[in-house]
Amino acid sequence: MQLKIMPKKKRLSAGRVPLILFLCQTISALEVPLDLVQPPTITHQSPKDYIIDPRENIVIQCEAKGKPPPSFSWTRNGTHFDIDKDPLVTMKPDSGTLIINIMSEGKAETYEGVYQCTARNERGAAISNNIVIRPSRSPLWTKEKLEPITLQNGQPLVLPCRPPIGLPPAIIFWMDNSFQRLPQSERVSQGLNGDLYFSNVLPEDTREDYICYARFNHTQTIQQKQPISLKVISVDELNDTIAANLSDTEFYAKSSRERPPTFLTPEGNASHKEELRGNVLSLECIAEGLPTPLIYWIKEDGTLPTNRTVYRNFQKTLQIIQVSEADSGNYQCIAKNALGAIHHTISVTVKAAPYWIMAPQNLVLSPGEDGTLICRANGNPKPRISWLTNGVPIEIAPDDPSRRIDGDTIIFSNVQERSSAVYQCNASNEYGYLLANAFVNVLAEPPRILTSANTLYQVIANRPAFLDCAFFGSPLPTIEWFKGAKGSALHEDIYVFHENGTLEIPVAQKDNTGTYTCVARNKLGTAKNEVHVEVKDPTRIIEQPEYAVVQRGSTVSFECRVKHDHTLIATVTWLKDNGELPNDERFTVAKDHLVVTDVRDDDGGTYTCVANTTLDDVSASAVLSVVDVPNPPFDLELTSQLDTSVQLSWTPGDDNNSPITKFIIEYEDAMHEAGLWHHQAEVSGTQTTAQLKLSPYVNYSFRVMAENSIGRSLPSEASEQYQTKAAEPDKNPTAVEGLGSEPDNLVITWKPLNGFESNGPGLQYKVSWRQKDGDDEWTSVVVANVSKYIVSGTPTFVPYLIKVQALNVVGFAPEPAVVMGHSGEDLPMVAPGNVRVNVVNSTLAEVHWDPVPLKSIRGHLQGYRIYYWKAQSSSQRNRRHIEKKILTFQGSKTHGMLPGLEPFSHYTLNVRVVNGKGEGPASPDRAFSTPEGVPSAPSSLKIVNPTLDSLTLEWDPPSHPNGLLTEYTLKYQPINSTHELGPLIDLKIPANKTRWTLKNLNFSTRYKFYFYAQTSVGPGSQITEEAVTTVDEAMASRQVDIATQGWFIGLMCAVALLILILLIVCFIRRNKGGKYPVKEKEDAHADPEIQPMKEDDGTFGEYSDAEDHKPLKKGSRTPSDRTVKKEDSDDSLVDYGEGVNGQFNEDGSFIGQYSGKKEKEPAEGNESSEAPSPVNAMNSFV
C-alpha cells in the first residue's frame, strides 16, 4: 500500500533567511528509490469482500515492491496455503497474485474462504487484508401457485415479490409480459423490499401479468416470478363474483368508501433503523387510504441536511447520503389525505466501522535517529488498536530495544540497521477492521535528486509555476533553491516552498525567467539539479464575439482577434453549440472572424471561439438569435356594429421566431383627416379580437399591426369603413384662462376642440363672463370655431368668473366648469412707507417697511424689491454709473436682511412694491452706516537686514482695514537648538509705521514673529514669519574648542564621581535612620531644570510633566487680548512632535524648516530630533 502526505507550505519573508525547507529528521511518506534496500510494501490487493463469478477463473491479487524483491506466501482460513500441492493454483512470476483455474475443472465453492498474502524480504514482511472469497449466486424462484386476486374498487393491495437470496442481492423491478415497466405513481409504487404497494386500486389496474423480476448484475442474469393476476370490480360485479368464484378466488372484502390513511409499511407507530457511517440511510413509509395519501418527512429536534437529503419513490423514501453520527435521532413520516393524518417514528442509530484519524506512515531513519509510528482510528463502538511486526503480533515478536509501545504509538530511539521492519496496525470493532502496513527502514544515504536534470518549464504569465525537486537521503536532506549563474539564494516572499522540494512561484512574471538550482544537503553529502523557466505571455482574445440578433436572410459576422506569445503558435477553432460548425458554404472562417451569410432559423445558437497554444487556451462565446418582425395580420372583420362601439377581429401573421407581445390598432377618419392614422387601442399578443369605443360623426377605417421584441410588422390591409351618427359635443374646451393684456380689458382664451371631438357639424363656442364680486348677470356671446375673445372696457384688475361651452347643430355640450380670471393689471400707485434700517453688525443690516394697501397694488402682488448702494468717495463721484444692488423678497413680507455689507461704510436704500405689470414708485432714500470691524491681516511681512543682535521688519498695511487702525501688535519668541520655544515678547507699534527694528537680540538665534493690526473693535488676522540673527564665528569656534578640551572632560568626570559618592552617603544615612537636609540643599542648589511657579496664574514655567505634553506652557500661551487666529494653531503639539520635518504656514500649507529639524514645545525640552547618542541608541532597543 502506497502512502502519501499532502504537502504543506511555508512562506519566508524577504531579506531574512534563504528560502530553505527545514524538515523534521524523519522522512514521512517518502518514496524510497527502488535501488536502495527497503522492506516490502503492498502496492495492490483484491478487495476485502471479493465476490467472484463462478464461471471464470479466480484471480486473487497481491502485488508488492521492495529491495531485495520480496517473496510471497498465502494463508487460507488462518493456515498456510500450500499452492504447490494444488495443480489448479498458480502464482504469477515476480508477483504474489494467485490464479485458480476453475474453468477447466473444479468448482468455485471449493475455494471459498479467507485469504491473506504475505510479502517478505530480509528487511521485514508486509501482509494484505483478509480477503474473503465468495462466488456469486443467482438462484431461481421456487415454484409456487399464485391464485388470481379479485378486489373491490378503492381497496389497498400489496403484491409480494420475495425474491430468492442471491449474492450480491438482486435488483428488483416489476414488468409485464412485454418487458415494459409497470407505471408507478403516488398511488402505486415499489417498496425497498421489492413488493408492489397499491394505496387503493382502480379498474385500470386490472391485468394478468404483474411480474416481479430479479436482476443479478454479477452474473448478468435475470430471474422472474410467476405472473400475478389482478381484477378490480365494482360493487355490482362483486355480488356475482362472490357467488361464482368464492371457492377458488382469494377475496378481499374491505370497504371501498373513502377512509383516512393507514401504513402498509412499516407496521405500528414506531420502529428502529441502524446504519453504518458513510452509507446511504434509506427510510420508507408507504400508506394506504382513499383518496391517496401524501407522505411528508421531518426530523424531531433537528432539521434534515439539505445538501445530503434525497426524496425518492414519490417521497415515500427518504435517503440521507454519507450518513454520519450526527444524523442519529428520530425521524417522523406523516401520511395525510383529506380525511386525516397518521405518523410513524423511526429511531435511527448510526454506527461506524473503524475509520482512520491518522494511519501509520513509512519511516526512513538514519542510524541513531528517533522516530514514531502513530495509528489512530475512530468508530462506533471505539475500535481496538493492535500492533504486529512483520505479520506477527508484537507481543510475541522478537524484542527490539529501540522501540517502545505507548497505546496507539510506537516510539523509536537510537535505531540501528537491525531495527528495520514492517509494522502492521489493526483497528477493529464489530462492524469491521482497518489494516495498515508501515515500514521502518534504517538507511545512511547521501542526498540524491530524483527530478530529471535541465528540465524546461514553460509557464504562462500571472499563473503559478511549480518547479519539481524530488529528493531522497537519510538523514533527511535540507532543500535550498538558487536562481541565476551566480547562485544567489532565493529569499523573496514571492516564493512558496513545499515539503516535497517543489518551488512554487504563485504568480509567474517575466523576470522569473531563468535557471534555478535545487540543492539537497545532509551530513553525508550534497546533490544539486538545474531546471529552466520560461515565462510566456498569456493568450488573450482582444476582440470577442458579441451577442447578435439578426433577421432571417441577413449576414452576421463574429469577431475573434487573438493576441499570444510570439514564441508560441496559436490555433483558432470555431464551435457551434459546443460542436463542429455545419458543413455549409454559408459559413466562412477567416483569420479573425466567422461570417454566416443568408442566415436561417436553424443557424441560431451559441458560437464559441477557442484559441489554443501548447500552454494555454482561452475561449469566448456569443449567442446568435435569428428573428424577424411579425408578418402583418390579415382577414380584418367588423362585427357587433353599434353607434358607440364595434368589435374588430383579425388573424395573426407568422411571429418569425419571436413571440408577438401586442397588437396595435389604428383608425383613419376619412371625413376629417383623410390619410392620417391615429392610435386607437393596444391588446395583448394572445388576443385576436378587440371591442373598440367609437366617437360620433366619424367615418372609421381600422388597421392592425403586430409587435414582437424585434419590431413592429407592416400594417394590415384597412378594414371596411364604418360611419357613426352625429351627436352633441361630449366635452368642452380646455385650458380656459382670463387675463388682461391692457388695464381696461379681459382676454378670454381656450384650447378649441378638433374635428374628431366636434361630434357633428357647425361647431361653435358660447363664451360667458361676469364680475366675481358683483350681482351682475352672465354676459354671453356665441363665437365661431376660434380660440380667443376680448372683453373691453373693464375696470383695472377686477376678478371675473368665466366659462366656455361647445355646441354644434345637434346641441350643447355639458355645462362647463367656471374658472376665475382678472382684467388687466396696472403699475402700483403707492410706495412702501416707514422704511427702517437696523444695523445688525458690520456686514449685516435688517430692513423693515410697512406694506402698501392692496388696492393700490392694482395687480398680483409679487413681492417687494430693495435697491441699495454704497456712498461714493470724492474720487468715485466723477463716475456716471452708481452700482446698485437689488434684493427681491417674494410675497407679502415686510422685512428682509441685507448681507455682505462692507464694514465702516455708508449706504443708501429704498423699497418698491412689485406686481405683474412692474414696479411701483420708490420709497424715500434711507441712509445708514456700518460700524467698524476687525482688519484683515497685514498684506505682507518681511525681515530684512539681519545682524548679530538685530532684525528689521517691513510690512504693508491690511488691504481691508475695516476701520481706523489704532496700532500694530508684534509678538516674538526665540527658538533654541533643541527647538524649544522661549518666552513670548509683546510689542505695540504705532499705526502709522511700516518698518520696525528689533535690537538687543541674541546672536545666531532663530525667532518666530506674530504680527497683526488692530482697530477699536479688536485685533485682526495675524501673519507669521521666522528669521535668524547672524553668527559670531569666533565665539562659536571657542565654544567648540572648550567642549573638546581634556581638562573640561576631566572636570565633568570629577563632578559625576562626586555626585555618585553623595548619593551613596545619602543612601547609607537614610538606612541608618539619620537625617539628610534635603530641603536645605534643594533651596541652596536649585535644579536648573525646575523653574519657579508663576505668580500670575499659579502654573509652572518651562517644566512640564513628561506625561502632559501640552503645547506651549508659557511662550505660546494664548494672549490675554484674544488675538490668536488660525495661524496661532501652528504652535501645537502636532507642529513640534517628533518625526515631522516642517510646519504649517499661515494659510495652512506645509513648509519645511530648519534644515529638516522641527520646533518643539518647552514641555518637550528633554527630547531632541537630532541624531541620538550611543546611549540613546542603546536605550531605544529596550
pLDDT in tens, 1087-1118: 333 333 333 333 333 333 333 333 333 333 33
CA 316 to chain centre: 40
| Confidence band, pLDDT 50/70/90 cuts, at residue 1021 | very high
Residue 749 has pLDDT above 90, yes or no: yes
| Confidence band, pLDDT 50/70/90 cuts, at residue 217 | confident
C-alpha 1163/C-alpha 1101 separation (Å) is: 9
Look up residue 414 and give its DSSP letter.
Answer: S
CA distances to 72, 725, 1142, 1151, 1154 from 980, in Å: 92, 105, 15, 19, 13
Torsions phi, psi of 513, nearest 5? Answer: -65, 140
C-alpha 448/C-alpha 32 separation (Å) is: 11
Average pLDDT value for residue range 42-61: 93
pLDDT-above-90 percentage for the chain: 64
Residue 994 has pLDDT above 80, yes or no: yes
The DSSP code sequence of 661-729 is: -EEEEEEEETTTEEEEEEEEEEEETT--EEEEE--SS-EEEEEEEEE-SS-BPPPPPP---EEPPP---
- pLDDT at site 1133: 30
Look up residue 856 and give its DSSP letter.
Answer: H
Q: Are 45 and 534 in contact (CB under 8 A)?
A: no
Residue 1175 has pLDDT above 50, yes or no: no
Return the closest-CA partner of residue 415 out of 395, 432, 401.
401
Average pLDDT value for residue range 499-508: 91
pLDDT-above-70 percentage for the chain: 84
C-alpha 422/C-alpha 128 separation (Å) is: 12
More confident residue, 373 or 142: 373
Residue 346 has pLDDT above 50, yes or no: yes
Q: Read off the C-alpha cell for 194.
A: 421489492
C-alpha 1113/C-alpha 1173 separation (Å) is: 28
Return the closest-CA partner of residue 212 out of 164, 165, 173, 183.
173
Q: What is the pLDDT of residues 357-395, one digit of tens each?
A: 999 999 999 999 999 999 999 999 999 999 999 999 999
Cell 530641603 sits at which residue? 1079
* Range in 300-314, 845-859, 1105-1119 with the lowest mean pLDDT: 1105-1119
C-alpha 16/C-alpha 10 separation (Å) is: 14
- pLDDT at site 909: 94
Look up residue 338 and give its DSSP letter.
Answer: T
* Three-class SS state of 766: strand
Q: Are 712 and 629 in contact (CB under 8 A)?
A: yes
Return the closest-CA partner of residue 253 out of 233, 223, 228.
233
Average pLDDT value over all residues in the chain:
84
Q: What is the pLDDT of residues 819-832, one digit of tens each?
A: 999 999 999 999 99
Q: Read off the C-alpha cell for 127.
A: 501482509
Contacts with 132 (C-beta within 8 Å, 6 or more apart), sequence order: 48, 49, 50, 113, 114, 115
Question: Taking the alpha carbons of 431, 437, 438, 440 in that order, is the dihedral positive or negative?
Answer: positive
- pLDDT at site 221: 86
Return the closest-CA partner of residue 1010 out of 910, 1118, 1152.
1118
- pLDDT at site 256: 61
- pLDDT at site 881: 66
3-state SS record for 816-843: CCCEEEECCCCCCCCCCEEEEEEEEECC
Cell 453549440 sits at which residue? 577
Which one-letter amino acid corresponds to residue 409? T
- pLDDT at site 240: 59
Q: Read off the C-alpha cell for 318.
A: 427518504
CB-count burial class (<10 Å; 0-12, 13-18, 19+) for 1122: exposed
Cell 512574471 sits at which residue? 509
Q: Are 337 and 260 in contact (CB under 8 A)?
A: yes
User: Considering all CA atoms of the chain, what is the largest pairwise distance in Å, rounded to the nearest integer?
Assistant: 148
| Confidence band, pLDDT 50/70/90 cuts, at residue 948 | confident
First to last CA, the chain: 57
Q: Read off the C-alpha cell for 933.
A: 470691524
- pLDDT at site 1147: 36
Average pLDDT value for residue range 5-17: 32
Q: Are 983 and 1116 in contact (CB under 8 A)?
A: no
CB-count burial class (<10 Å; 0-12, 13-18, 19+) for 681: middle
Q: What is the pLDDT of residues 475-490, one digit of tens each?
A: 999 999 998 877 677 8
| Confidence band, pLDDT 50/70/90 cuts, at residue 980 | confident
- pLDDT at site 642: 87
Residue 227 has pLDDT above 80, yes or no: yes
- pLDDT at site 245: 53
C-alpha 191/C-alpha 1077 separation (Å) is: 107
Residue 790 has pLDDT above 60, yes or no: yes
Which one-letter amino acid corresponds to residue 978? T
Highest averaged pLDDT of the listed ranges 51-55, 116-120, 223-227, 1137-1141? 116-120
Cell 537625617 sits at which residue? 1075
